[in-house]
């Protein structure tokens, strides 16, 4: 077969193959096969050297034409296949923008922590700072130094968990009063949040619960300041419209002592099942620090005076949010917990603000 015929045959074969190529990859393989350095066209042109010199330009011309035509068809087909492949890819990776996104579950502050933060915020604005103490206490700090000697009837009220060595799981946060006064000199203005333990359980009692203790010691602290501070706190927490009342009471570590009630949050004082028909809710215990307590920490009770108070966080949360059973706080049921995500307090709101929604799992679609 003459070289010209060979070139024509090559062109026909190349055209046939290129037209039926089904992918850019297959097309590229054809380009290499026909036009590549070691391709069929090169093979044919090797025969040129055996031709008469005068015939060479003509064959060269034909070969060039064949090459140009194949290249042109190749380019055309390449454009077509690239478009097809891109369309297919877009179709496969189509994003349905109307589909709901993956919403990330953001944790919310636990209702007890939320209430605790609210309490802390109110007192911090009055200049109180936050102190903590150990859960395992000696008998001395939990009772003795707080003027609750052995065999004192007040010990019965505490349903204490005793450790083998005579230490106790603290029954209240009051021992941190003693620890702080022994470590610092007045003025002292602290609140003490923490876990406390009592061997007691029913719908309103749990063997572990949380208290906040408060202590203010300086020269000339008065009962009027106690009343003002605690009234302010209760109104900030429960609402400015709520009435507050102080009843005489007894605690070994304060003298005089008082229990502080707030007008019932549910019935506004008319009487209901929450306030046991009294119209009032008992919220906290308080009083002027007993001289004996000052003596046990080495303060001179003729020079300093102070007031102290203690309240239960669970009780505050149950009353504020109408929660009927204390065990709900510890069961970690998301249906319960997710109801307490937001708070009026800007501080708490800022800390619990939801983060922008983002996919929880990597999307199937790879965005390049
Ligand atoms: N510690 C008491 C209790 O757990 C609460 C209490 C009452 C604390 C009066 C005080 C206070 O500081 O002055 O029942």
Out of 92, 123, 151, a domain closes at: 92
Identify whether 331 is part of a domain.
yes
| CA–CA separation, 168 and 139 (whole Å) | 6
Are residues 222 and 137 both part of a single domain? yes
Confidence of residue 346 (pLDDT cuts 50, 70, 90): low
Identify whether 61 is part of a domain.
yes
Kindly report, residue by residue over 108-139, the tens digit of the pLDDT. 889 999 999 999 999 999 999 999 999 999 99
| CA–CA separation, 296 and 322 (whole Å) | 41
What is the whole-number distance in angstroms between the Cα of residue 46 and the centre of ligand 1? 107
Q: Which of 52-56, 153-157, 176-180 has the lowest mean pLDDT?
A: 153-157
Which residue has the least CA distance to atom 2 on ligand 1? 310
Are residues 37 and 81 both part of a single domain? yes
The whole-number pLDDT of residue 76 equals: 95
Pairing status of strand 136-137 against strand 208-218: unpaired
Question: Could you tell which of 153, 172, 249, 290 is best to mutate to test the pocket of ligand 1, judged by most ligand atoms within 8 Å of the CB?
Answer: 172
Are residues 84 and 139 both part of a single domain? no
Are residues 56 and 182 both part of a single domain? no
Number of domains observed in the structure of the chain: 2
Identify whether 97 is part of a domain.
no
Question: Could you tell which of 157, 160, 174 is best to mutate to test the pocket of ligand 1, judged by most ligand atoms within 8 Å of the CB?
Answer: 174
Are residues 222 and 310 both part of a single domain? yes
Identify whether 213 is part of a domain.
yes
What is the whole-number distance in angstroms between the Cα of residue 85 and the centre of ligand 1? 77
Confidence of residue 360 (pLDDT cuts 50, 70, 90): very low
| pLDDT surpasses 70 at 367 | no
Identify whether 128 is part of a domain.
yes
What is the whole-number distance in angstroms between the Cα of residue 156 and the centre of ligand 1? 15
Q: Is the overall model pTM greater than 0.85, yes or no?
A: no
Out of 62, 92, 122, a domain closes at: 92
| CA–CA separation, 141 and 194 (whole Å) | 15
Mean pLDDT computed over 177-196: 97
Give me 54's structure tokens.
Answer: 């005068």
Kindly report, residue by residue over 28-87, the tens digit of the pLDDT. 999 999 999 999 999 988 888 888 888 888 888 998 999 999 999 999 999 999 999 999
Are residues 234 and 131 both part of a single domain? yes
Out of 29, 60, 92, a domain closes at: 92
Domain region containing 69: 3-92
Are residues 282 and 177 both part of a single domain? yes
Which residue has the least CA distance to atom 6 on ligand 1? 310
The whole-number pLDDT of residue 273 equals: 87
What is the whole-number distance in angstroms between the Cα of residue 286 and the centre of ligand 1? 6
Residue with tokens 């009780």: 315
The whole-number pLDDT of residue 225 equals: 97
Identify whether 269 is part of a domain.
yes
**Is pLDDT larger for residue 367 or for residue 271?**
271
The whole-number pLDDT of residue 347 equals: 56
> What does the chain come to in residues?
368
| pLDDT surpasses 80 at 343 | no
- Which residues, in sequence order, are CB contacts of 131 under 8 Å at separation 6+? 176, 180, 190, 191, 192
What is the whole-number distance in angstroms between the Cα of residue 309 and the centre of ligand 1? 6
First to last CA, the chain: 52
Kindly report, residue by residue over 15-43, the tens digit of the pLDDT. 999 999 999 999 999 999 999 999 999 99
Are residues 224 and 197 both part of a single domain? yes
Which residue has the least CA distance to atom 8 on ligand 1? 310
Phi and psi torsions of 190, nearest 5°: -130, 155
Percent of the chain whose predicted confidence (pLDDT) is above 90: 69
CA distances from 227 to 57, 124, 168, 304 (A): 116, 17, 32, 18
Identify whether 117 is part of a domain.
yes
What is the whole-number distance in angstroms between the Cα of residue 285 and the centre of ligand 1? 5
Confidence of residue 344 (pLDDT cuts 50, 70, 90): very low
Kindly report, residue by residue over 305-324, the tens digit of the pLDDT. 999 999 999 999 999 988 88
Are residues 307 and 172 both part of a single domain? yes
The HSE-up count of residue 234 (CA atoms within 13 Å, CB side) is 29
**Is pLDDT larger for residue 355 or for residue 344?**
355
Confidence of residue 366 (pLDDT cuts 50, 70, 90): very low
Task: Kindly report the number of other CB atoms within 10 A of residue 364's CB atom.
Answer: 7
Q: What is the mean pLDDT of the chain?
A: 89
What is the whole-number distance in angstroms between the Cα of residue 344 and the centre of ligand 1? 28
Are residues 214 and 359 both part of a single domain? yes
What is the whole-number distance in angstroms between the Cα of residue 33 and the centre of ligand 1? 94
Are residues 203 and 338 both part of a single domain? yes
Q: Which atom of ligand 1 is nearest to the CA of 196?
A: 4
Pocket of ligand 1 (CB under 6 A): 172, 174, 213, 251, 254, 285-287, 308-310
Which domain CATH number covers 307? 3.30.930.10
Which residue has the least CA distance to atom 7 on ligand 1? 285
The HSE-up count of residue 26 (CA atoms within 13 Å, CB side) is 11
Identify whether 105 is part of a domain.
no
Long-range contacts of range 12-16, CB-CB < 8 Å, 24 or more positions apart? 14/70, 14/73, 15/69, 15/70, 15/73
DSSP state of 95: -
Are residues 206 and 60 both part of a single domain? no
Give me 309's structure tokens.
Answer: 């108070």
Residue with tokens 């609750």: 148
Query: Which is nearest to 257 in space by CA: 244, 267, 246, 265?
Result: 246
């Amino acid at each position: 077969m003459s070289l010209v015929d060979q070139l024509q045959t090559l062109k026909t074969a190349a055209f046939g193959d290129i037209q039926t190529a089904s992918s850019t990859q297959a097309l590229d393989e054809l380009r290499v096969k026909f036009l590549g350095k070691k391709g069929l066209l090169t093979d044919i042109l090797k025969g040129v050297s055996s031709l008469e010199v005068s015939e060479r330009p003509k064959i060269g011309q034909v070969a060039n034409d064949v090459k140009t035509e194949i290249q042109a068809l190749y380019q055309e087909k390449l454009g077509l296949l690239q478009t097809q492949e891109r369309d297919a890819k877009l179709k496969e990776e189509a994003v349905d923008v109307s589909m709901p996104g993956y919403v990330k579950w953001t944790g919310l502050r636990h209702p007890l922590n939320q209430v605790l933060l609210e309490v802390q915020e109110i007192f911090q604005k009055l200049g109180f700072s936050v102190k903590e103490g150990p859960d395992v206490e000696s008998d001395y700090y939990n009772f003795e130094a707080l003027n609750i000697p052995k065999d004192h009837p007040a010990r019965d009220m505490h349903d204490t968990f005793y450790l083998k060595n005579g230490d106790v799981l603290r029954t209240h946060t009051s021992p941190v009063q003693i620890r702080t006064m022994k470590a610092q000199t007045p003025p002292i203005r602290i609140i003490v949040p923490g876990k406390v333990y009592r061997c007691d359980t029913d719908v309103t009692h749990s063997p572990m619960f949380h208290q906040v203790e408060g202590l203010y010691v300086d020269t000339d602290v008065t009962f009027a300041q106690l009343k003002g501070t605690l009234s302010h706190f209760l109104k900030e927490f429960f609402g400015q419209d709520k009435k507050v009342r102080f009843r005489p009471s007894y605690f070994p570590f304060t003298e005089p002592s008082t229990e502080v009630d707030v007008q019932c949050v549910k019935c506004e004082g008319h009487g209901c099942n929450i306030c046991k028909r009294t119209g009032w809710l008992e919220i906290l215990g308080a009083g002027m620090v007993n001289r004996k307590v000052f003596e046990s920490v080495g303060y001179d009770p003729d020079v300093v005076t102070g007031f102290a108070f203690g309240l239960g966080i669970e009780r505050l949360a149950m009353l504020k949010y109408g929660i009927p059973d204390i065990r709900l706080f510890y069961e970690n049921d998301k249906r319960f917990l997710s109801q307490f995500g937001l708070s009026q307090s800007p501080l708490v709101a800022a800390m619990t603000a939801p983060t922008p929604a983002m996919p929880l799992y990597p999307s199937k679609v790879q965005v390049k």
